[in-house]
Structure 1
Amino acid sequence: MSQKKIINSRYGQAFRAIREEQNLSLDDFKKVISRASLSRFELGEASLSTDKLEEVLSIMHLSIFTFLFLADNIPVYRRYGEVFQLLREQREFERESFENIDLSQWTLKKFEEGKVMLDFAQVESALQMMHIPLYEYTYLLDKGEADYFGELYKRVDTAFLTEDWTLLKKIYEESIPYDDFRMLALATKACYEALDENEIQEVADFLFGVDVWTNLELFVFNYTVGQLSFNLIRSIWIDFFKNVTYFEDNREYRIRIVRTMAATCLVMLERERANDAQSFLAYAQAFLQSTDEFTRCLFKFTQALVNYAQTKDTQALEEMKKVIGIFDYLGDAILAEKYRRIMLKYTTILKK
């Protein structure tokens, strides 16, 4: 099968410029291509197959991905390289330290100068060498600021805890006109009023069969679970736990997962399915880690509430009050008040 030919004369010119910058002669490539053929390519008089181009680029320790950035003069977000350089120098790594992962000093210098992009595998491998998690690198790319979606999640979370329905409506109205924010908008709306049948179906279609759960899917599930059918809720959780290892090391995800599981249990109690609530709650234990005090408190509170639903034992009431007392002791009046209201609401419902 014939190989696609590289025929753009700009590529030959770019190749020559890189070769000369690296102080390489045409003879340095003679093991893979003749001097005459390479010269003609540089002059735009001949073409190379992609395989042959990759061969000659490998002598300069350059990937075709990086080469095309240079040859096509593709705009590069300079901060990728700037943040990498900052981390590299802080960890006291020299540019040559990365040559064993086939990342040349020349390529890395161009990357740090904002001239080229590296492919994802190279960036990830280099970060691993420096023992820097990918999420820390991406966080610094945003200049230490959360992304816009992340800020909206926080606003909705806070408004929900304080029952600021006016703010929730405002967030919904600001978000609903934009397709990218539609699911976030519907989840926000679900905090203060029922979704209509079409909106519920949209959410169900969005959540059913998710392969990789990101914060968005978890957020939407968290706030719409009360409006979904039992069978759908169960199916979503079953699918979710097939890929549970994706989330075990991420504290933010663990918090959202336990919050969503707690919300699921409250829905089950409202629907007089305390046994199902107990079954769902058992899954949440996998996400309780020693330093996640909020998730542990939330789990303990929900566990006590479910026990109360099943037994009406006053000891379960005391357990809930203990958790609320912890929030009070820590000075978190918002959480203390929110869970005090939840305790009152559900214990009243369960007494009927």
Structure 2
Amino acid sequence: MVYFKYGKAFHDLRIQHGFSLSAFEELGIAKSTLSNFENGKSMLSFDRLDSALQKMNVSPLDYSIMINNGEQESYISIFDEIEHAYYQREIKRLKEIYQENQMGTNEQKLVAYSAKGLYQHLLPEEIDEIEDYLKGIQFWGLFELSILANIGDKVNENLIDNILEDLFYNKSYYENDLYYRVLIYRFLYKVILNCIDSGRKEKAQEVLDISKQFFMPGDVMSRVIINYAESFFVYYYVDKQKGKRQLQDTLKFLKKIGAEDFRKTLKMQYDKRIIREKPNER
């Protein structure tokens, strides 16, 4: 019954909005098909699910919250705290979040791993748990995307490829929400850096190309991190001096606009990868 939570959430929303099973036949969804979906016997194709949710005027966030039994809002606040602690380099707080959640429910364990993965290598068995969970995702809500943004780059390459294919194939659905896009871009940024670090030039270029197709007007900070990742690509594969100059320009820009916490986080990646010519450079 792997599809049960998706079908149950849809059923609850359908009843809440006063739609009958037959109301979706005009979308090509037969009553029997919808009934099987709601009872956890099968999964609707993503495009049909998208159309059905639009018909009920239900947003991705609404459906995402219903999937997680309304608990997602509390988890999102924890993910916000994880993000804050990461940018502030509050390793102690990240460790506390890990310890507070590591012995809890499956969802709490995933929260724990999301915190731990930002300051320490995850154990093989922890990565296995993450992979098992991500393999079963049919709908990427805020909870799932938050996990992806923090530690999605830790899973095996084949799973990452499948996730990228899923997100890109359904990008028209996810790109309409700024919060969704921000989380997706954090995942893409880390994947690009991993590809560069492991010498997979073609794959890094492929993910860069995918990233640029998600951009929407106003995605300033997302553009900054993808541009930053591309500058590393230039440094390693095109022109070291040009790439280094682009990286330094980004850091200077962030300092100029007062985005110091964000700048420090990106600078860690610079210090990890770039050999500086002068100790006081930048």
Question: In structure 2, which of residues 92, 116, 134 is the aligned counterpart of residue 207 of structure 1?
Answer: 134
8 Å Cα contact 2:60/2:141 also seen in 1:
no
Match of 1:293 in 2: 220
Label 1:214 to 1:137 Cα distance change in 2 as closer, same or farther (>3 A). Answer: closer
Q: What TM-score, normalized to structure 2?
A: 0.70
| Letter of the 2:202 counterpart | N
Displacement after TM superposition at 1:317 (Å): 1.8
| Corresponding position of 2:196 | 269
Q: What CA distance in whole angstroms lies between the structure 1 residues aligned with 2:58 and 2:136? A: 29
Q: Is the 8 A contact 1:209 1:236 kept in 2?
A: no
Which consecutive unaligned segments of at least 5 residues does structure 2 have?
A: 1-12, 20-53, 64-71, 277-282
Q: 2:143 aligns with which of 204, 216, 234?
A: 216
The verdict on how the C-alpha distance between 1:162 and 1:275 changes in structure 2, with shifts beyond 3 A counting, is farther
1:214 Cα deviation from its structure 2 partner? 1.0
Deviation at 1:251, TM superposition (A): 0.1
| Residue number in structure 2 paired with 1:322 | 249
1:120 aligns with 2:16: yes
Q: How does 1:79-228 map to 2 (within 5 A)?
A: 119-122=15-18, 147-179=73-105, 180-228=107-155
Q: Report 1:40-55 matches (<5 A).
A: none
TM-superposed CA distance for 1:134, in Å, is: 5.3
Distance 1:213 1:260, change over 3 A: same
1:308 to 215, 235, 255: 235
Q: Which structure: larger Rg?
A: 1
For structure 1, the residue ranges without an aligned partner over 5 or more in a row are 1-116, 139-145
Residue 70 (structure 1) aligns with = none
Contact 1:284 1:299 in 2 (8 A): yes
> How much has 1:296 moved relative to structure 2?
1.1
Q: For 1:136 and 1:166, how far apart are their aligned partners in 2?
A: 31
- Work out the CA distance in 1 between the residues paired with 2:111 and 2:171: 23
Kindly indicate whether residue 174 of structure 2 is the aligned counterpart of residue 238 of structure 1: no
Q: Does 1:341 align with 2:268?
A: yes
Tell me by how many angstroms 1:133 deviates: 7.8
Specify whether residues 134 and 240 from structure 1 end up closer, same or farther in structure 2 by C-alpha distance, changes over 3 A only. closer
For 2:216 and 2:170, the matched residues in 1 are separated by 18
Higher relative contact order (CA 8 A, sep 6+): 2
Aligned to 1:142: none
Which residue identity is paired with 1:191?
A: L
**Cα separation, partners in 2 of 1:134 and 1:244, compared to 1, 3 Å:** closer
Q: Do the aligned partners of residues 314 and 241 (structure 1) sit closer, same or farther apart at CA in structure 2, a change above 3 Å counting?
A: same
Contact 1:200–1:227, Cα closer than 8 Å, also in 2:
yes
Question: C-alpha root-mean-square deviation of aligned residues, in Å?
Answer: 2.9
Q: Report deviation, 1:294.
A: 0.6
User: Which residue identity lines up with residue 156 of structure 1 in the other structure?
Assistant: I
Q: 1:348 to 1:270 in 2, by over 3 A?
A: farther
TM-score, normalised via structure 1 length: 0.57
Secondary structure of 2:80's counterpart equals helix
User: Is the 2:171–2:214 Cα contact (8 Å) retained in structure 1?
Assistant: no
Q: Does the aligned pair in 1 maintain the 2:153–2:187 contact within 8 Å?
A: no
SS in 2 for 1:291: coil
Look up the SS of the partner of 2:17 in the other structure: helix
Which residue identity lines up with residue 307 of structure 1 in the other structure?
V
Percent of aligned pairs with the same residue?
A: 20
Q: CA deviation at 1:344?
A: 2.1
The alpha-carbon deviation at position 253 of structure 1 amounts to 0.6
Please name the residue that 1:105 is paired with: none
Instruction: Give the AA of the match of 2:125.
Output: N
1:236–1:133 distance in 2 versus 1, CA, 3 Å: closer
Q: Is 2:174–2:181's contact at 8 Å kept on the other side of the alignment?
A: yes
- What secondary structure is seen at the aligned counterpart in 2 of 1:194? coil
Query: What's the CA shift for 1:329?
Result: 2.0
Contact in 2 for aligned 1:265/1:277 (Cα 8 Å): yes
